[in-house]
Amino acid sequence: MRKLLLGLIVVALLAVGAFQLSRARSFQLFGEIVTSIPTEERVVALTFDDGPSERFTYDLLTALGDTPATFFLVGQDIEAHAEAAAAIVAAGHEIGNHSWDHPRMVLMPPGAVRAQIERTDDAIRATGYDGPILFRPPFGKKLVVLPWVLSRMGRPTIMWSMEPDTVLGPEMNAAALIDYVVERAEPGDIILLHGMFTPNAATREALPGIVEGLRERGFGFVTVSEMIGE
In angstroms, the CA 165 to CA 202 distance is 10
Q: Given 49, 50, 77, 189, which residue is catalytic?
A: 49
Respond yes or no: is residue 50 known to be catalytic: no
* 75, 50 contact by CB (below 8 A): no
DSSP codes, the chain: -HHHHHHHHHHHHHHHHHHHHHH-SS--SSS-EESB---SS-EEEEEEES---TTTHHHHHHHHTT---EEEE-HHHHHHTHHHHHHHHHTT-EEEE--SS----TT--HHHHHHHHHHHHHHHHHTT--S---B--GGG--TTHHHHHHHHTT-PEE--SB-HHHHH-TT--HHHHHHHHHHH--TTBEEEE--SSGGGHHHHHHHHHHHHHHHHTT-EE--HHHHHT-
In angstroms, the CA 228 to CA 187 distance is 13
Respond yes or no: is residue 59 known to be catalytic: no
Q: Given 81, 93, 98, 194, which residue is catalytic?
A: 194
Biggest CA-to-CA distance, the chain: 67
Which residues are annotated as catalytic?
Answer: 49, 194
